[in-house]
Amino acid sequence: MKRPSKKVRQKELVELIEEQPFLTDEELSKKFNVSIQTIRLDRLELGIPELRQRIKNVAKNNYKKLRTIVGAEIIGELVDLNLGKNGISILETTKDMAFSKTNIVRGHHIFSQAESLAMAVIDAEVALTGVSNIKYLSPVKAGEKLVAKAELVRVRGNDHFVHVRITVDQKQVFRGKFILVVIDGDGGMES
């Protein structure tokens, strides 16, 4: 099978990255059946930033939408946010997040990513976690990338029910069900 010309490949590369900005150079090289170096040269020639910068660019636009918490309070990079519906964040784990003996990431980092994303999804000025039901499904090693997806599944009065799933390489490692309670600025319940 003949490979498409450089011009066609680059056009398709631009379209693909616009649709899926989080594809790695390795994934792109497999998709186009070329070397990683060819993808890097194409990106350089087209002015397409590397993956880390693309994530930051997308995140920057999403942080502007936040209402319940401020951007610095999100654990991980906020890469997608639809207020009152859903959101996605990515957390690159590091050695300082893990137990030194086992290299397993401490649970509070994973929980913090889930809870902060759940808070971000809520379309309210002030909310607190009323209830959380969580389950750690598999250990996470330092250096692995956590992808959290949150979805607002129900609103009943002041209670917002948000489900969060966290995966590593598309394998679920955590799930959380949160009930976030919307309160007014004086600390009382909104009506």
At 3, is the pLDDT very low, low, confident or very high (cuts 50, 70, 90)? confident
The reply to whether 189 falls in a domain is no
The reply to whether 188 falls in a domain is no
SS3 68: coil
Q: What is the dihedral of CA 27, 29, 35, 40, to 10 degrees?
A: -90
The reply to whether 190 falls in a domain is no
User: What pLDDT does 115 receive?
Assistant: 95
What mean pLDDT is predicted for residues 120-125?
87
User: Is residue 170 over pLDDT 60?
Assistant: yes
The reply to whether 21 falls in a domain is yes
The upper half-sphere exposure of residue 170, i.e. CA atoms within 13 Å in the direction of its Cβ, equals 0
Question: Chain-wide mean pLDDT for the chain?
Answer: 87
Same-domain check for residues 24 and 92: no
Domain total for the chain? 2
At 5, is the pLDDT very low, low, confident or very high (cuts 50, 70, 90)? confident
Same-domain check for residues 19 and 69: no
User: What pLDDT does 186 receive?
Assistant: 53
Same-domain check for residues 97 and 129: yes
Same-domain check for residues 38 and 78: no
User: Beta partners for 165?
Assistant: 149, 175
User: What pLDDT does 81 receive?
Assistant: 87
- Tell me the per-residue pLDDT of 25-78, one tens digit each, with 9 for 90 and over: 888 999 899 998 999 999 888 888 887 777 776 666 666 666 666 666 788 888
* CA–CA dist 86, 83 (Å, integer): 7
CB atoms within 10 A of CB 66: 19
The reply to whether 120 falls in a domain is yes
* CA–CA dist 98, 76 (Å, integer): 16
At 96, is the pLDDT very low, low, confident or very high (cuts 50, 70, 90)? very high
Same-domain check for residues 88 and 31: no
Q: Which range (20-24, 52-56, 101-105, 176-180) has the least confidence? A: 52-56
CATH number at residue 13: 1.10.10.10
137 torsion bin: left (phi>0), alpha (psi -120 to 50), beta (else):
alpha
- Tell me the per-residue pLDDT of 150-167, one tens digit each, with 9 for 90 and over: 999 999 999 999 999 999
User: Is residue 189 over pLDDT 60?
Assistant: no
Same-domain check for residues 85 and 124: yes
Give the highest mean pLDDT range of 20-24, 76-80, 186-190: 76-80
Same-domain check for residues 102 and 164: yes
CATH number at residue 74: 3.10.129.10
The reply to whether 53 falls in a domain is no
What mean pLDDT is predicted for residues 139-146?
96
- Which residues contact residue 23 at a Cβ distance below 8 angstroms, ignoring those fewer than 6 apart? 16, 17, 31, 51
What mean pLDDT is predicted for residues 132-140?
97
CB 120 within 8 A of CB 78: yes
Q: Which residues form the domain of 158?
A: 59-182
